[in-house]
Amino acid sequence: MKRRIASSLLTAALLACSLASAPAQTPQFKISSDTGETQAQFAKRTEWWRQDKFGLFIHWGIYDIANEDHRNADPDKLGEWSLVYNQTPVAEYEKYAPQFNPTQFSAKEWVGLAKAAGMKYVVFTAKHHDGFCLFDSKLTDYTIVKATPFHRDPLKELAEECKKQGMKLCIYYSYMDWRHPDYLPRRPWDKRPTDGASLDKYTDYAEGQLRELLTNYGKVSILWFDGGWEHPPADERALEIMKLVRKLQPGILIDDRMYPAGDYATPEQSIPANAMPNGRLWEACMTTVTAHNLHWSYAWTDHDFKPTSDLVRKVADIAGKGGNFLLDIGPDSHGVIRPEDITHLREVGAWMKVNGESIYGVTKSPFRRLPFAGSCTQKGDTLYLHVSEWPASGLTVLGLKTPIKKAYALATRQALATAVLPDGTLAIQKPDKIDPSSTVIVLKCAGLPDVDVTKAPLSPEADGYKLSVLDADLYGDLMDVEKVGGEPNVGEWIHTTDKVCWTIAVPEAKTGKYHISMEYSCPPDCVGTDFEVSAGEGPGETVQSVTKEGTGDWYTYHTMTLDNPITLTPGTKILRIQPKTMPHYAFINLRKVVLTPANP
């Protein structure tokens, strides 16, 4: 695992940014371009996935042998990428296979743990980037059945156990293969000859293995591709592979790491700031250990586990943004799951048993933002407020126009009083029992919740506006908020129709001209994009500019100040940044925008 990369004017601006205040009766989705499906067909095929919300990811393989004697204390050289981190010759790495004998592996226990955690599907690494197969492939001897003393097929056992326990089986398969003689490019230190090597021949091999995986293990609900980023999709015959997969398993879901459209996006080790644009389905994949530990598989140096409260809050946050949560564990080479993982997953499951109604089958929050630490999910006429920390000033929500029929704490069913304040804010009574992970408050509305999204605009500070991408609304096919270097940024900004918007409040006392500065990254080969910054509609409220300087690469950030200021007039405005002409393949990565008064 690793990856690359309320005036009429306001109403017009909101429509331009697709900010509907009323909930849609029929969900609209970004559909994969390789299916030819209608909206209704896509909705039916993905219904189970949108209902289930929570799955278990399992990274497991012969790379775990590198942990056995604890001599390798460098945490950067352990885990599923250990072959690369240590620049291990393939012949040396292959010696791990005869040492791999996971006699304590139990499919019943692994699937049972996922079920106890409240998860509904299991994604298992059938083949990772090292090329070793954890299934019985007839196309290579480099498998757990033939090359290890274990001589069993764990994928078959997991498939049987998933069927018994009512879990959905999903398979991870890496197109990238560091060992296969036909896979190119080789790692820089790999001195094996490349004469006769052919990516086409390798793709034939990969297609053969996919046929095995999708015909020998019963129903497969997801094919979780990885490692497809080293080549253009045409070179990998990606569309051909997609059609083969869908032919073999017509109802299957496919991620975006082989063919970029895919059925859903897969942000890694991060949660997007908002729902994906255009109804794009997404699934955040994250580890139970903190991200700085680097590893998806077992590593004996990883001791910094995310606490149960953090995992619970992530489940709720992701569901509140319309996504699924794929939580990863790494069993050791004996087949043992770490006790910390077992404890935390069971604790998450205990919370889900009580509060699962607020996660399974929900849709994203109708609110732009919430005035408390937590999230919100929706199911028809019902809102679920997930409160991480009860606000000292009391729990409120802004902009909810639909009357409340009743409110109660989900865990205890305690009825709670509500009151609508003079400014329209809804105040909610504090329950007697507060959950330290997340307290769920149920609001039964008198109809589908209607939310005025203009009720929570960003207010100016004393020295202007500081606009984080975490508060932005993104509108673009592939745009996402990612974290590079620990700070969030908007990435995948690749179309002139893509835009980033903030809703801001401009009090009478704060009107006037503002200098615009943007913290951005841009390699030299993407310099020259014309773009505009606008605030609402009307003369003098749009500034045209162009990227003039590169920052070196996508990971190095500079600040550019636009030549001309922008004028902000009173009211609630939509500040929008949008490229107009894009002569190269991308615009910029954006971290934040600062508006500073021109005449303080």
Q: Is 58 contained in some domain? A: yes
- Among 204, 258, 262, 267, smallest CA distance to 230 is for 258
Q: How confident is the model at residue 25 (pLDDT cuts 50, 70, 90)?
A: very low
Domain that holds residue 584: 465-597
Same domain for 491 and 398, yes or no, is no
Q: Are residues 327 and 432 in the same domain?
A: no
Q: Which are the contacts of 184, defined by CB distance < 8 A and separation ≥ 6? A: 194, 197, 199, 202
Average pLDDT value for residue range 70-92: 86
Q: Over 50: is that where the pLDDT of 365 sits?
A: yes
pLDDT of residue 572: 83
Structure tokens that stand for 232 in this block: 């253009």
Determine the pLDDT at residue 547. Answer: 94
C-alpha 121/C-alpha 315 separation (Å) is: 15
Residue 488: name the closest of 302, 271, 233, 228 by CA. Answer: 271
Considering only residues 504 and 134, tell me which one the structure prediction assigns the higher pLDDT: 134
**Do 238 and 336 fall into the same domain?**
yes
Tokens of 91: 């012949």
Q: Cα 557 to chain center, whole Å?
A: 23
Confidence class for position 18, pLDDT limits 50, 70, 90: very low
Average pLDDT, the chain: 91
pTM for the complete prediction? 0.82
Residues 400, 512 within the same domain = no
Task: Provide the pLDDT confidence category of residue 31 given band limits of 50, 70 and 90.
Answer: confident
**Would you say residue 45 lies in a domain?**
no
Q: How far is CA 531 from CA 465, 497, 502, 559, 583, in A?
A: 20, 11, 16, 16, 12
Lowest-pLDDT range of 17-31, 134-148, 315-329: 17-31
Angle between helices 107-116 and 154-165 (to 10 degrees): 40
DSSP string of 202-240, one letter each residue? HHHHHHHHHHHHHHSSS---EEEEE--TTS-TTTTTHHH
487 — pLDDT class (breaks 50, 70, 90): confident
User: How far is the C-alpha of 94 from the C-alpha of 454, rounded, in Å?
Assistant: 60
Q: Domain end: 455, 483, 514, which one? A: 455
**Average pLDDT score over residue span 54-83:** 87
Give yes or no for residue 377 having a pLDDT over 60. yes
User: How many Å from the N-terminal Cα to the C-terminal Cα in the chain?
Assistant: 49
Give the pLDDT of residue 462: 86
Residues 217 and 249 in one domain: yes
pLDDT at 277 over 80: no
pLDDT (mean) for 171-180: 98
Asked whether the predicted pLDDT for residue 292 surpasses 70, the reply is: no
Task: Based on the fold, state whether residues 144 and 222 are members of the same structural domain.
Answer: yes
Write down the pLDDT at residue 21: 39
Q: Which amino acid is at 460?
A: P
> According to the model, what pLDDT value does residue 13 have?
39
The residue assigned the tokens 């009512």 is: 166
Q: Please, are residues 341 and 57 in contact by the beta-carbon 8 Å criterion?
A: no
pLDDT at 10 over 50: no
Task: Name the pLDDT band for 6 (thresholds 50, 70, 90).
Answer: very low
Q: Kindly state whether residues 388 and 334 are assigned to the same domain.
A: no
Are residues 68 and 124 both part of a single domain? Answer: yes
248 belongs to a structural domain: yes
We report the CATH number of the domain holding residue 447 as 2.60.40.1180
Q: Alpha-carbon dihedral of residues 212, 216, 222, 225, nearest 10 degrees?
A: -20
Question: Does residue 473 share a domain with residue 335?
Answer: no
On the question of pLDDT at 289 being above 60, the answer is yes
pLDDT in tens, 206-231: 999 999 999 999 999 999 999 998 99
Over residues 382-395, the mean pLDDT reads 96
User: How many distinct structural domains can be found in the chain?
Assistant: 3
Least trusted range by pLDDT, from 70-74, 100-104, 462-466: 70-74
Place of tokens 């083949």: 127
Residue 582 clears pLDDT 60, i.e. is over it: yes
Higher local confidence (pLDDT), 390 or 71: 390
Looking at residue 16, its pLDDT comes to: 41
Instruction: Classify residue 312: in a domain, yes or no.
Output: yes
Same domain, 264 and 412: no
pLDDT > 90 fraction of the chain, expressed in percent and rounded? 76
Residue type at position 201? K
254 occurs within a structural domain: yes
Q: Residues 143-161: pLDDT tens digits?
A: 999 999 999 999 999 999 9
The C-alpha atoms of residue 222 and residue 264 are separated, in whole angstroms, by 11
The mean pLDDT of 96-117, rounded to a whole number, is 98
Residue 201 lies in a domain: yes
Last residue of a domain, one of 455, 484, 511: 455
The verdict on residue 18 lying in a domain is no
- pLDDT of 15 above 70: no
User: Model confidence at 2, in pLDDT bands (50, 70, 90)?
Assistant: low
What pLDDT score was predicted for residue 7?
32
Question: With contact defined as beta carbons under 8 Å apart, do 179 and 211 qualify?
Answer: no
Residue 9: is its pLDDT beyond 90? no
Whether residue 286 sits in one domain with residue 205? yes
Residue 455 has pLDDT above 70, yes or no: no
| Exposed/middle/buried for residue 339 (C-beta within 10 Å: 0-12, 13-18, 19+) | exposed
Last residue of one domain, picked from the residues 435, 455, 475: 455
**212, 354: one domain:** yes
Q: 197-205 contacts: CB < 8 A, separation 24 or more?
A: 199/231, 199/235, 199/236, 200/237, 202/177, 203/236, 203/237, 203/241, 205/139, 205/140, 205/180
Of 102-111, 357-366, 540-549, 550-559, minimum mean pLDDT range: 540-549
Find the CATH number of the domain harbouring 523: 2.60.120.260
Q: What's the CATH code of the domain at 331?
A: 3.20.20.80
> Cis (ω within 30 of 0) for the bond into 260?
no
Return all residues near 204 (Cβ < 8 A) that are at least 6 apart: none
The answer as to whether 85 is a domain residue is: yes
Using 50, 70 and 90 to split pLDDT, how confident is the model at 361? very high
Closest residue by Cα to residue 132 from 297, 14, 374, 300: 297
**What residues does 407 pair with on adjacent strands?**
443
The answer to whether 544 touches 514, Cβ cutoff 8 Å, is no
